[in-house]
Chains A and B, each alone.
Chain A
Amino acid sequence: MTNTIAERILDFLKGFPPFDYLSYDELLHISTQIKVLYYEKGDHIFKQNEALHDYFYVVKDGAVGLYSDNTLIDECDEGDIFGLRAVIRKDLYLLNAIAEEESIIYGIPAKSIDDIIINNLQANQFILASFATNTRHPYSSENKGKLFANETILQPNASSFTEVQSASFSKNPITCQPIITIKEASVIMSQSNIGSIIITENNRPIGIITDKDLRHKIATGKHDISEHVTAIMSAPVITFPKHITVAEAQIAMLNHGISHLCITKDGTINSELVGILSEHDIIVIHGNNPSVLIKEIKRASSANQLQMIMQKAQLLMKNYIEQNIPVGFITNIISAINDAITKRCIQLSIDELQEELPTSFAWLAIGSQGRKEQLLLTDQDNALVYENVQNDAVVKSYFLRLSKAVNNKLNVVGFEFCPAEMMASNPKWCLSVSQWKAQFKNWITHPDEDKILLCNIFFDYDFVFGNHDLVDQMSDSIFEAIDNYEIFLNFMGRNALRNPPPLSFFRNFLVEDSGDHKDQFDIKARAIMPLVDAARLLILSHEIKDINSTMARYKKLGDLEPQNKDLYDSCINAFRILLRFRTQHGLKRNDSGRFIDIKNLNKNDRLKLKGCFKPVKDIQELVKIRFKLSQLL
């Protein structure tokens, strides 16, 4: 019998792994078993410690956030699977799943996962790999179809980061002899405040007891606490050598359905126990990783060392992008690293000059660096502000020398010199507070096209190093000047609309019609910048300072204008997708990722991009109306 609904669901699912590995019939069978669920923003799909549902979930429309307590761990959007770990482990939910926006979710019966695992090796490998890498899309699109098991991930190359780093395990595991009673073992566990104990014989692990065993085997009355530990221990234990990688450990835990691995001297059960690795240890490793880089940065003593660290950070970022880790998370990490590197460059330069600081100053990142939206290495954009002084010429000369040294170091690290000289070593952008104020006032009260462009770059400044108070003074002066000359916002608004919505009436892409990039789509000018410019304009009109990133700005705008929150949320979403898109393209082609060849996009990407344009159009409409631009245009 025909089942149009199931076929439509199939059409959707087959675009996403692991469903794309299944045959038409397998997938149709699953599709006919599905439940379609609707959630309002804020609704729980499942809660931490809730009993297992009979379903795991795929996001059809909308977005679902996975939270551990109140911390966002991951965000799932269209095609992403969640709630699978609990189903496979037949365990309680470890996370809260909350609809981040209005969402339609497909519930897929838990029993069909068995069909997938048993019947389809590739789908099975995908699922294991997605657990091992802690992401839902362990393969980059280029690698799609390759088998996980052909060791590319089990023996990964140097580019992946946490997954290949050796898992650090607990070195002094608590052990006991096989002859002691369950009660005695429990007392040891309780006193040592641990959830597991290893039973050893001649220092070799022969079994393990965990809290779960006590729950299932003792509390249920199946065994008595006076029996020997051997009565309830799980044996044999699963052992690994010391240099086990995080990926291997996670796969082993999943394959065996266990939460602890024993680390032995030679990796077999016949050698001495040296440690224990728990699921918890792995979570800790995943959380800590970028902080290792930051520590290295703080210790670096030369620009060349920083350059090496930067390369690692770029590999880390590439890996994150390939694994579809949320862009917000990646930008946070990369910004933190860029920030730390710049700080270190400044500190090293100050030390090098061997002069006393003539007065306090602040180093500013501007443009996309200021907005913390830079993922790929690009030109450096920065500026410097120092306190008002009597002997301005002397002080300025010091800060110009300092800036020159910092700019040189950043160049070594990989941030190339800005061809437009938007750098602190340029005397135009190395000014005292009052000079900056005068400059801003001039831009605001006598705006022309060039000055608006400068505003767009300089108003996105972010404090990096030095005296924060100076930056506050600058911000205040901007708002003061705007207050006295409100028409400036209209000019800025007009500028924000200079690029028309990227869709023509025929729902086709507007592509560049001349120049080197003929027939290519300028994702930066036509999609990203309109969102960035609108966010800046709107946040300035609310006189909010210190929020520089476009996503954070829209979030704040949503709080300030609840009636427009949906639109602002959709802008955040679109921005996130566009930024990922651009970064992916840039990585693939080793350029800025700005121009996209529409013809070479697959359908899914094209739809994804198109979906981003409606918010662009809507936000431009809002700007047009709010700043009464129809008559100005």
Chain B
Amino acid sequence: MKWFKRDLKYPKFYRHYKAAFNHKINDLDAVRFVVFDTETTGLDPKSDRIISIGTVAVQAFEINVYDSLECYVKQEHFNKDTVQIHGLLKAGNITKLEEKDAIIAFLAHIKNSVLVAHHAAFDIAMVNEALKRMGLPKLKNKVIDTGKLYQKTKYIKDHKHYSLDELCNTFNIRMHDRHTASGDAFLTALIFLKLSSLLKKKSKNLKLKDFMHWF
């Protein structure tokens, strides 16, 4: 019962989140992917903060617009240089949550889904830092990086850094709402569908692990 005791030190929402991982899903069509993006005050996970989180869920390789989350975070920390990119001012007229509440909403939304993001390491690090400030462990979800997934679908391996814009151009996806978390999450989701379809062509009996192992 040691694990149980250790669990009790976590708040209820986190225990809920954690419990979701007791279910294992093997059928690829049943896997819920949550494609997400964060907009942040800067590029340093330690000192910068999440401004907004946007998600949209994909299941059976269909994007479910109704299964999405979009939240904006109140800022203490504010970096005026990035406002130009995101157009999100410190005191905009959008309803904003405390960081803690945004993370709670995010965990409740993602559950045990497989997370998908473009250059995921950064977004995951941002969320993990926020969790750390709440005294909580890191995200437990499996993660797919569309940047790496793209390299996997190519015949020539390289380690070039492909931006979301580049991939949208490559795949002929019309861009709008670039640099809003939800807009980028949606574009990433479309790219994810295209990449999945390329992968399906390569391998008949596609498994989740085919999305994860790239080397």
User: Which residues of A line the B interface, CB within 8 A?
Assistant: 1-6, 8-9, 31-38, 40, 61, 102, 104, 107
Residue of A6, A32, A104, A107 touching B190 (CB-CB under 8 A): A104
Instruction: For B71, give the chain A residue with the smallest CB separation.
Output: A1
Q: Bound complex: CA of A567 vs CA of B68, how far in Å?
A: 36
Inter-chain contacts of A5 with B (CB < 8 A)? 54, 56, 65, 68, 70, 182-183, 185-186
**Given the contacts A4-B70, A5-B182, A33 and B190 also touching, CB distance less than 8 Å:** no
Inter-chain residue pair count (beta carbon < 8 A):
66
Are B70's CB and A34's CB within 8 A? no
Q: Bound complex: CA of A104 vs CA of B182, how far in Å?
A: 18
Q: Bound complex: CA of A205 vs CA of B59, how far in Å?
A: 52
Residue of A4, A8, A35 touching B63 (CB-CB under 8 A): A35
Instruction: For A109, give the chain B residue with the smallest CB separation.
Output: B66
> Closest Cβ of chain A: how far from B176's Cβ, in Å?
6
Are B186's CB and A37's CB within 8 A? no
Inter-chain contacts of B197 with A (CB < 8 A)? 38, 40
Inter-chain contacts of A1 with B (CB < 8 A)? 70-71, 95
> Could you name 21 residue pairs across A and B whose Cβ atoms are closer than 8 Å?
A1-B71, A2-B72, A4-B180, A4-B183, A5-B56, A8-B176, A32-B65, A33-B66, A34-B65, A35-B63, A35-B64, A35-B65, A36-B63, A37-B63, A38-B193, A38-B194, A40-B197, A61-B174, A102-B194, A104-B190, A107-B62
Which B residues, 42 to 78, have Cβ-Cβ distances below 8 Å to chain A? 54, 56, 61-66, 68, 70-72
Are B63's CB and A2's CB within 8 A? no
Q: A36-B63, A107-B62 are in contact. List 7 more A-B contacts (CB 8 A).
A: A1-B95, A2-B95, A5-B183, A32-B66, A34-B65, A38-B190, A40-B197
Q: Bound complex: CA of A38 vs CA of B182, how far in Å?
A: 19
The SS class assigned to the B binding surface is mixed
Q: Bound complex: CA of A4 vs CA of B178, how far in Å?
A: 11
Instruction: For B63, give the chain A residue with the smallest CB separation.
Output: A36
Inter-chain contacts of B186 with A (CB < 8 A)? 4-5, 8
Inter-chain contacts of B194 with A (CB < 8 A)? 38, 102
Are B183's CB and A36's CB within 8 A? no
User: Which residues of B line the A interface, CB within 8 A?
Assistant: 54, 56, 61-66, 68, 70-72, 94-95, 172, 174, 176-177, 180, 182-183, 185-186, 189-190, 193-194, 197, 201
**Given the contacts A36-B189, A40-B197, A4 and B65 also touching, CB distance less than 8 Å:** no
Interface centre among A4, A31, A36 (most CB of B within 10 A): A4
Instruction: For B181, give the chain A residue with the smallest CB separation.
Output: A4
Inter-chain contacts of A3 with B (CB < 8 A)? 68, 70, 182
Q: Bound complex: CA of A523 vs CA of B185, how far in Å?
A: 38
Residue of A4, A32, A36, A40 touching B54 (CB-CB under 8 A): A4
> Closest Cβ of chain A: how far from B60's Cβ, in Å?
10
Q: Bound complex: CA of A3 vs CA of B201, how far in Å?
A: 33
Sorted nearest first, the 4 A-B pairs with minimum C-beta distance are A36-B63, A4-B182, A38-B193, A34-B65
Q: Bound complex: CA of A2 vs CA of B72, how far in Å?
A: 9
Q: Bound complex: CA of A175 vs CA of B197, how far in Å?
A: 54
Inter-chain contacts of A40 with B (CB < 8 A)? 197, 201
Instruction: For B56, give the chain A residue with the smallest CB separation.
Output: A5
Inter-chain contacts of B183 with A (CB < 8 A)? 4-5, 8
> Closest Cβ of chain B: how far from A133's Cβ, in Å?
31
> Closest Cβ of chain B: how far from A108's Cβ, in Å?
10
Instruction: For A3, give the chain B residue with the smallest CB separation.
Output: B70
> Closest Cβ of chain A: how far from B171's Cβ, in Å?
9
Are A36's CB and B65's CB within 8 A? yes
Instruction: For A36, give the chain B residue with the smallest CB separation.
Output: B63
Are B177's CB and A36's CB within 8 A? no
Inter-chain contacts of A31 with B (CB < 8 A)? 65
Instruction: For A31, give the chain B residue with the smallest CB separation.
Output: B65
Inter-chain contacts of A38 with B (CB < 8 A)? 61, 190, 193-194, 197
> Closest Cβ of chain B: how far from A15's Cβ, in Å?
14
Inter-chain contacts of B54 with A (CB < 8 A)? 4-5
Inter-chain contacts of B193 with A (CB < 8 A)? 36, 38
Inter-chain contacts of A32 with B (CB < 8 A)? 65-66
> Closest Cβ of chain B: how far from A106's Cβ, in Å?
9
Inter-chain contacts of B176 with A (CB < 8 A)? 8
Inter-chain contacts of B66 with A (CB < 8 A)? 32-34
Are A9's CB and B62's CB within 8 A? no
Q: Bound complex: CA of A36 vs CA of B191, how far in Å?
A: 12
Inter-chain contacts of A9 with B (CB < 8 A)? 65
Instruction: For A11, give the chain B residue with the smallest CB separation.
Output: B176
Q: Bound complex: CA of A600 vs CA of B96, how far in Å?
A: 43
> Closest Cβ of chain A: how far from B58's Cβ, in Å?
9
Q: Bound complex: CA of A5 vs CA of B185, how far in Å?
A: 9
Are B94's CB and A2's CB within 8 A? yes
Inter-chain contacts of B68 with A (CB < 8 A)? 3, 5-6
> Closest Cβ of chain A: how far from B71's Cβ, in Å?
8
Q: Bound complex: CA of A104 vs CA of B94, how far in Å?
A: 30
Interface centre among B61, B65, B177, B201 (most CB of A within 10 A): B65
Are B65's CB and A6's CB within 8 A? yes
Q: Bound complex: CA of A37 vs CA of B63, how far in Å?
A: 6
Q: Bound complex: CA of A36 vs CA of B187, how far in Å?
A: 11
Are A37's CB and B182's CB within 8 A? no
> Closest Cβ of chain B: how far from A608's Cβ, in Å?
13
Instruction: For B95, give the chain A residue with the smallest CB separation.
Output: A1
Instruction: For A43, give the chain B residue with the smallest CB separation.
Output: B197
Q: Bound complex: CA of A31 vs CA of B65, how far in Å?
A: 8
Instruction: For A62, give the chain B residue with the smallest CB separation.
Output: B172
Are A8's CB and B177's CB within 8 A? yes
Inter-chain contacts of A36 with B (CB < 8 A)? 62-63, 65, 189-190, 193
Q: Bound complex: CA of A444 vs CA of B134, how far in Å?
A: 80
Are A33's CB and B62's CB within 8 A? no
Q: Bound complex: CA of A35 vs CA of B68, how far in Å?
A: 11
> Closest Cβ of chain A: how far from B161's Cβ, in Å?
25
> Closest Cβ of chain A: how far from B115's Cβ, in Å?
17
Q: Bound complex: CA of A33 vs CA of B66, how far in Å?
A: 5
> Closest Cβ of chain A: how far from B192's Cβ, in Å?
9
Q: Bound complex: CA of A106 vs CA of B68, how far in Å?
A: 16
> Closest Cβ of chain A: how far from B166's Cβ, in Å?
18
Instruction: For A33, give the chain B residue with the smallest CB separation.
Output: B66
Instruction: For A61, give the chain B residue with the smallest CB separation.
Output: B174
Inter-chain contacts of B182 with A (CB < 8 A)? 2-5
Interface centre among A3, A5, A37, A102 (most CB of B within 10 A): A5
Q: Bound complex: CA of A2 vs CA of B56, how far in Å?
A: 13
Are A4's CB and B177's CB within 8 A? yes
Inter-chain contacts of A61 with B (CB < 8 A)? 172, 174
Q: Bound complex: CA of A1 vs CA of B68, how far in Å?
A: 11
Q: Bound complex: CA of A37 vs CA of B68, how far in Å?
A: 16
Q: Bound complex: CA of A6 vs CA of B69, how far in Å?
A: 11
Inter-chain contacts of B180 with A (CB < 8 A)? 4
> Closest Cβ of chain A: how far from B151's Cβ, in Å?
20
Q: Bound complex: CA of A5 vs CA of B193, how far in Å?
A: 16
Instruction: For A37, give the chain B residue with the smallest CB separation.
Output: B62
Q: Bound complex: CA of A8 vs CA of B183, how far in Å?
A: 9
Instruction: For B68, give the chain A residue with the smallest CB separation.
Output: A5
> Closest Cβ of chain B: how far from A621's Cβ, in Å?
17
> Closest Cβ of chain A: how far from B22's Cβ, in Å?
28
Q: Bound complex: CA of A61 vs CA of B197, how far in Å?
A: 16
Q: Bound complex: CA of A439 vs CA of B176, how far in Å?
A: 56
